[in-house]
Structure 1
Amino acid sequence: MIQFLNKYKAFLYGLIIIPIFYLLDYFGFIILKNTPLEVILFAVFWWLVIALSIHNFSYLKSKRKTIFKVVVLIILFTTALVIDSTMNLPDNPITFILLMGFWIGFAYLLVPAFITKYWKLIVLIYGPLFLYFLYLRLLSGNLETYLNIKEEYPFFVFFLPIPVLILIWIFEQWKWVQNLKAEKSKAELSLLRTQINPHFFFNTLNNLYALAVKNSKEAPGVILKLSDMMRYTIYEGEKETVKLSDEIEYLNNYIELHKIRYKKSVEIIFKYDIDTDLVVAPLLFIILLENAFKHGVETLTENAYIHMEIYQENNLIQFKIENNFDPKEIAKSNGIGLQNLKRRLSLLYNQEHELIVEKTDDTYKAILKISIHA
């Protein structure tokens, strides 16, 4: 929101036109005899002129061609005023055409992309209105007849499409903000994915080196599992969703590689009773499993356990993991893995998830619930 206000603060500055209008009327420089709706429409119009000029000031300042166009527009506007004052005709068609050219050129100068994108819509709206004006002014009869028609049907109708164009422009800016947020979320997700399990791969490589030195028969299996995990992290991890079967295989490989590290007895139970064709965002469960090893199994010399389960309940995918730990051990980690997980869940599932963490003196339990329809 702050970023949006900073980008469009010029439109707040443009509101200065309101007190200026009343000051000019107070000192007699202008006379506000129009209907309230006309006054509002004229005020909105000049507010946009001032705001867009300020908003695009840097653009105008840095472009020589733009300055030349501004000079041309000023000449066009001055010519229109001179002709209007010289001929002294009410709603002079020549003046009207020159002023229309001026305002169209001015709008294109300030928001060229918008005018280029919606020029067909602008022609569709203003073309018939302009032809209607020419018909009434030149073909409906004498000047008195035209003035009577104008009094009965004021020509402020020419400004009625302006709110429509303003709303379209505001919608364009809203889309820009939403796209900016989406791009920011994608960038954050990409960064968060790169933070997943880097030290695990280094530790596994060290273990693999030790197995290779010993000519262990386990080495080829470890290489294959590590290769599968690295492939999954690099390629599948970039996808928006993956099948649960792939996530489960990834978790099983992680568990098997960890078992090689420990000479102590560790009870690891992993159950899953769920449709494995369901899809989730990749690499969500691994952080909780990694924490169970790092802050649980590695702190205990005996009787360590990890109980893990994936199941479906109430239209939710539920992942539950529990482990014990040594309360005397002080965790050196700052919890970046869990922060990472919470941030990813917020970006990916917003209100369609729930993460519950329960901690006792020597046990830690986490339950992650994700809506199947999220």
Structure 2
Amino acid sequence: MKMKISDKGWKMISRLFQISLAIIGLAIVIFNDTFGKIEGGVEFIVLYFLILFITIAHWIFRQVKSIIRLKNEKERTELLHLKSQVNPHFFFNTLNNLYGLMDIDSQARTMVLKLSDMMRYSIYEGQKDWVTLKQELDYLKNYIELQEIRYHKKSDVQFKSEIENPNAKIMPLLFIILVENAFKHGLENLEKGAFIHIDLTEENNEVNFIIENNFEQRQSPDEEGIGLKNLKRRLELAYPKKHALAFDVETHNYKVQLSIKLK
């Protein structure tokens, strides 16, 4: 993770330099009165304060570098912690379904294979800083196919993707929160007519993800749970000022749009 200096950090550096220059200026006046009339005194004053200035500047740089390093380490630790919280209960719920399907349904093998791929991705790839868009896309497809098998109800689930550069790098497990919410608040609670439409595009190093689903009126999909808080915080840390997340709630429809300018 690269070192970044915030506006507050630059103000702190500027203030330290101002204070240092003020101290040096005052000391020059005092030293000039003392040594200015001595032969070679001016050269001594210049050399002394040049060394003093370099020493102070070096100290300030080391202090700022240390502060930024600690801040970046804190953000990295927080990101890893947030990624580790990405809905592990889904895996347990799916495993419970597998127990009921294994002896009576041939789809069990398909579910086991897809779940295995998802767990591998979540455990190994999900802990990395970056993955390719293709890897993230495959993960989402596996999740959606598993959910369609799991619910056994007629629904309209569409997932469209158009990616210019499948090897473009992105932080893993960003979209899954939004997809999980669509199934949880929509398809899971609707008896019939449920739909989930997903559109993922990437062009000119910018990703646009749109997901829309319907829900029952008594549901409250706009309530922000831990998953959305998790997502917002990860976006703030990984893509500061390079993302946009918007929610649109109508009578029975819920729509989320996420745009990310890739690094």
TM-score (norm 1): 0.59
Which structure's residues are more often helix, by fraction? 1
Cα shift at 1:244: 1.2
Instruction: Provide closer, same or farther for how the CA distance between residues 306 and 205 of structure 1 changes in structure 2, counting only shifts above 3 A.
Output: same
Q: Which residue of structure 2 lines up, in the alignment, with residue 38 of structure 1?
A: 28
Q: Which residue of structure 1 lines up, in the alignment, with residue 213 of structure 2?
A: 323
Q: Secondary structure at the match of 1:311?
A: strand
Q: Secondary structure at the match of 1:157?
A: helix
- Which residue identity lines up with residue 260 of structure 1 in the other structure? I
Which structure's residues are more often strand, by fraction? 2
Cα shift at 1:160: 2.7
Q: Secondary structure at the match of 2:241?
A: coil
Q: Which residue of structure 1 lines up, in the alignment, with residue 134 of structure 2?
A: 245
1:216 aligns with 2:206: no
Give per-residue Cα distances to partners, 1:166-216, cap 9 Å, x unaligned: 11111101011111111111111111111102110011000011112x342
Cα shift at 1:351: 0.9
Q: What is the alpha-carbon distance in structure 2 between the residues aligned to residue 176 and residue 152 of structure 1?
A: 36
Q: Secondary structure at the match of 1:174?
A: helix
Q: Which residue of structure 1 lines up, in the alignment, with residue 171 of structure 2?
A: 281
Do the aligned residues in 2 keep the contact of 1:266 with 1:297 (CA within 8 Å)? yes
1:207 aligns with 2:97: yes
- Which residue identity lines up with residue 196 of structure 1 in the other structure? V
Can you give the 5+ residue segments of structure 2 that lack an aligned partner in the other structure? 1-5, 10-15
Instruction: Provide closer, same or farther for how the CA distance between residues 299 and 332 of structure 1 changes in structure 2, counting only shifts above 3 A.
Output: farther
- Which residue identity lines up with residue 352 of structure 1 in the other structure? K
Computing the radius of gyration from Cα coordinates, the structure with the larger value is: 1
Higher RCO, 1 or 2 (CA under 8 Å, sep at least 6)?
2
1:235 pairs with one of 107, 119, 124: 124
Can you give the 5+ residue segments of structure 1 that lack an aligned partner in the other structure? 5-10, 19-34, 43-90, 92-146
Give per-residue Cα distances to partners, 1:26-56, cap 9 Å, x unaligned: xxxxxxxxx95425789xxxxxxxxxxxxxx
Q: What is the alpha-carbon distance in structure 2 between the residues aligned to residue 41 and residue 204 of structure 1?
A: 78
Q: What is the alpha-carbon distance in structure 2 between the residues aligned to residue 336 and residue 234 of structure 1?
A: 20
Do the aligned residues in 2 keep the contact of 1:241 with 1:279 (CA within 8 Å)? yes
Q: Secondary structure at the match of 2:254?
A: strand
Over aligned residues, Cα RMSD in angstroms?
Answer: 2.8
Cα shift at 1:329: 2.9
Question: How many pairs were matched up?
Answer: 241
Q: What is the alpha-carbon distance in structure 2 between the residues aligned to residue 327 and residue 370 of structure 1?
A: 31
Give per-residue Cα distances to partners, 1:274-303, cap 9 Å, x unaligned: 122222111111110001001111121110
TM-score (norm 2): 0.83
Q: What is the alpha-carbon distance in structure 1 between the residues aligned to residue 73 and residue 161 of structure 2?
A: 35
